Structure 1
Amino acid sequence: MDADDPGRRGPDLVAHADDPATVVPASGVSPAPDYASPRHSAPPGPAAVGPTPGVTPASYTPRSSRSPRSMAAPTRDHELRRTFPPFPPRDGDRFAESWWGNAWVGALEQGALDVKRLERGRGYAGQGHVDAITVTPGLVLAYVQGSRPRPYRVQVRLRTLDDTDWDRFLEAAADRPGHIAALLDKEMPRSLAECGVPLLPGPGDLEPRCSCPDRGHPCKHAAALCYQTARLLDADPFVLLLLRGRGERDLLDALSRLSATRAARAAQDRGPAPLPGVRAAEVLASRALRPLPAPLPPLPHPEQPPAYPAAPGGPDPFALDQLATDAAARAHALLSTGRDPVGQLTFWQDAVRLAAARPGAGLTAGTRALYSSLASAAGRTPPELARAVAAWRQGGLEGLAVLEEPWDPPAGRFDRARPLLLAADLPAFRPWRNHLTHPQGHVQLRLGRDGLWYAYESEPGHDDWWPRGTPDLDPVGALTGLGLPSDL
C-alpha cells in the first residue's frame, strides 16, 4: 500500500519526537530559512513552520492560520543527541556531494524494494516535507509531512559499533595525523572509512520505520528522511560517527589521549643519544691524560614546549604553557651565558618580567587573565602591572627602576640636559630629582642610573606618566625618538 490510509482518522494530536507521553497539535511542517549550503551543517535549533510548498489542494487538507512550532526539541540536545533544523526545498535529485554521503544514498537505494517509492521520497525531500532531524546513537528521527494534515513519525535505525570496533577505528585514526586533521575539517578520508570497521552502511543495514500504513521497504516518508540524512552526513561526518555510537567530543578526547600516549612511548623508545667520552681506566692510568671532549654547543634558541590538553580537574593548560616556556628560556640563558637572568629579581620584578614576555600588543582574554593573576599574587592592580610592563619593555630592569624609584643624580649629566634642550629650541623643562618635565605637563624625561634618558607621556594636567619611545644617551634624542617634536 503506497497511499496514506484515509480511514485511520484519530484526534488531531501527535506524540512529541522525544517524549511519547507529550502530545502537540498535529499539522503540516515546512522548512526553516535556508542556511549556507549542504556542506555546512546549521547549528541545532527549533525550526519554523509554514505552508508546505508543492502540495496540491486535492491531496492536502488546508490548515488553520496559526501554525504550531516544530515538534523537535533541540533544547534537550547533549553530547549523544543532536537536532538539526529542516532543510529548505531544493531542485534536482542529487542529495549528497561527498563520497560518504553518496555511500549512504547507495545503501538506501540498493536495499530498497520499490523504485517508485524512492522517487516519491526524493520528491518529498526536495519539497521540504521533512521536519527537524534528531540524531542519537543508532537512530535518526523526524516527522515527515505526507498528503494528510498529520505528519508521520519516521525512524531509521543503524547498528552501533562495539568497543572492539571503536578501538580499531581510533587506532586507524591515530596512525596518520592527516586523519584527525581531515575529521576536524569535516572530511571523511576513504582510508579511515575502509580500516576494517563497518563505518558506512551497506545494502540492508538501514532499518526504516514509519507510523504510516504503508508497509513498503522503505515507504516514501522513510525514503525522504534517508535522503535528507545524506545531506547531514555530507556536511558533517561526525553525524555518521554519532549514529554508530560515539559523540564528537568523546572521539576527539580519545584521539588526543591516544596520540599523546603514542608520542610519549616513541620518545621513550628512542632514548637519549650517547655522549662522547673516555674510559675511566684510561683516565686513571699513569700517563698523559687525553683532553676532555669539547662541550656540546648550545641550541640556538629554546625549544617550544609540548601542548598540554585540558582535563577535568587538571591544571590550567595556559598556566602550564606559560611556566614551561619561561623555564625553557631561563635554562637556555643559563647554558649559554652561565648566569640566570632572573635569579636576583624580587617577586614583583619577576611578575613584571613574566607579563612582559607575553607576546602581542593588545590585551587579549588570555593576557587579561595572566595580568589579573600576577597582579593579585604581587599585591598590585592590573593597571599598575600594565604600566610596569611598558617600563620593562622600554628598558628592562633598569626601565622598571626608572618608573618606580626617583633618585637624586649627581652634578654633571643631569645639569647639562636643560641647556641642551634649550639649544634645540625646546622650552625650559622643570627639574625635580631625576625628572625633567615640559612646562605644559605632557612630556617628561627621566635619567636612569645607567646614564640613559627615558621619555614619558601624560595627558596635560594629569600626573599619569607612561613610558614611551627608546632610551637614549642624549635627552634631545630621547624626545626625537618619541615622534612628537612638533608638539614640544
Structure 2
Amino acid sequence: MTPASRATGASRVFPPLPQHPDPQAPFVTSWWGNAWIGALEGTSLDAGRLARGRAYAREGHVDTITVAPGRIVAYVHGSRPRPYRAEIRMRTLAPEDWDGFLDAVATEPAHIAALLDKVMPHALVDAAKRSGVQLLPGPGDLVPSCTCPDHGRPCKHAAALTYQTARLLDADPFVLLLLRGGDEQALLDELAQRNAHQAAREQSASAEQNATGGVSLPGTLARDILATAYRPPLPAPLPPPPHPGEPPLLPSLPGAPDPASLEFLATDTASRAHAHLTTGADPFPAADPWHDAVRLAASHPGLTGRRTFSRQFTELARAVDHTPADLARAAAAWRQGGEEGLSVLESPWDPPAGPFDRARGALIAADLPRMTIRGNHLTDAKGTWQLRFGHDGRWYPYQSEPGRDDWWPEGEADADPVGALSTAIGP
C-alpha cells in the first residue's frame, strides 16, 4: 500500500502566520519555497494582483490554513468585513509516482536524514525527477479559486494564500509532500519498511559470504521485542480545547453535496458541540429551522448577501422556504440584535407610554428628523430613516430608499434613540 492511499483524508491545520512586515526582507529563505513562489508568479499575468496578494500575506490577512492532498484552503480578509474563501489546487501523485519517489529516497540515507531535518535537498528533487516524479510545481500547476467577485487567476486573495503557503513549505517540506498526496507519518513508515528490507537483503548477502567461515550474526526475534504482558491503563479524558476545531476538508464528488456548504454546517456543529463540552448546554436549544438559518447566514464568514447572493446563501434560503432577500434582511437584523433584532424586524407591536413617547421630543431637541408614529416604529417624513422600539428597551435603526418602503437594518441598536439614529446617519 502506498503512502498516497494510506493518507487519504489526511490534513494539517496551521494557525494564522505572524505578520511579515519588512518589504525588503525575503519572503522565504529556502530554494524550494522560492520555487513554489516562482510557480505562482510564472502563471500570473497581472503583477498588480500579485503585489496586493504579497502585501496581504505580509500584513497577516490570511487566516487558518488547511492543507490536504491536492488542495489548500483558507479564509482571507480583504477590504470588506467578511473574509473570502480562497483555495489552491494541485495534482496529487499517482501510486507509481510514489514508488519512484520512495525508491529515490530510500537508496540514499542522506535524503532521509535531510527530510527529518525539514530540508529538501536539490539532489533529492533531481533524483525524483530522474524517476519521472515532479515534486515541485511548475507554471500552471497551481490552480487558484476564490469566492470574491474578481476573476483574476490568481486574484489577490488566492495569491496571498499561495505566498503564505510558501512560508509553510519553507519551514517544513512535508507540507509539499502532503499536498502531493503523502502523509508524513505514512511516508516515514514506508521508508522504514523499505530500509528494513534493504538491510535484510544486505544482511542475508553478508551471511552467505561468511557461511563458510562459521561466522554467526547476532539477532533478536521479533516476537521477543514486540511481546509484552503489561497493558497500562487508559489515560484520563483530555480537557476540552479552548476553541472549536476546524471542519475536515471534503472532496468535490459528482452528485455529492457542495463541500463548502457542508464545511460551514460542520463549523456550526463543532461550535455547538464545544459549547456542550464547556457549559453543558446547547446555546441555541429551541431554534426552529428559519431562526437557525438566519443565525447561520448572519454569523458564518462564507455566507453573505444583500443585493447579490452566493450559491450557498441562495440554497440556504430555499431550504427554509424564503427568498434570498428575506434571509439577507433577517441576517442583518440578527447581526443588529440577535433574537430580539429578528423579532423587531418581523413582529410590530404597540409599546406602552413612557420612553417611546419621549423619543420624538429627544430627536427634535437633537436637531434630527421629525418622526411619525406607527406601532413601535418612528419614521421620518421622507421615508428614509426609521427607528423601531424593541421589547428590550433598545432602538433599532433602519434605512430605506425614499418612497420604496424597503426597510433594512442599518447600524447598531442603542438604548438612546438619539444615539441610535445619529450613529446610523453618520456625520
TM-score computed with the length of structure 2 as normaliser? 0.49
Higher relative contact order (CA 8 A, sep 6+): 2
Hey, which of these two has a bigger chunk of helix by percent?
A: 2
Larger Rg: 1
TM-score computed with the length of structure 1 as normaliser? 0.44
